[in-house]
Structure 1
Amino acid sequence: RAWSWGPLGWVIPGEIFPVDIRSAGQAMNVSIGLGLTFVQTQSFLAMLCRFRYGTFAYYAAWVAVMTAFIAVFLLES
């Protein structure tokens, strides 16, 4: 088991796409993930200067949303 959100970005798309479109789905997953990572890294310092500790509360809220999503929709049985 991995105790991080990192592997989910690779494992979940690899499991949910049918075999015939899996490579295209993974390509879209990687492209969107890298694009969002770029936006996050470019906006982090501006957010930190304006919101100070609120920046970390913002990211903590997104972790809570991700946790709720996984708990409700992607339970491992």
Structure 2
Amino acid sequence: METKTIDLQKSTINIKELVALVTAGNEIIITEGKLPVARILPIELIEQLRQPGMHPGAIQMGENFDAPLPEEFWMGQQ
């Protein structure tokens, strides 16, 4: 990842150009003069989407899963 610095006082770059730089994998540091004020990073994409059914039987719910909760639960009493 390459880091590019853009000074707001000297640059006329627009948002589309910033997005293009970040999409290309660059980290952007935005400064006002010598003071860094923001950093823009590319989002790391998830390599593989989750797929349902990958771990059947790994979780089991109790028989009373759908049973109503006691009144004490809702009133904050334990």
Query: TM tier, shorter chain?
Result: under 0.3
Q: Which has the higher helix share?
A: 1
Q: TM-score, normalised by structure 2?
A: 0.20
Q: Which has the higher strand share?
A: 2
Query: Radius of gyration: which is bigger?
Result: 2
> Taking CA–CA contacts closer than 8 Å with sequence separation of 6 or more, which of the two structures ends up with the larger relative contact order?
2
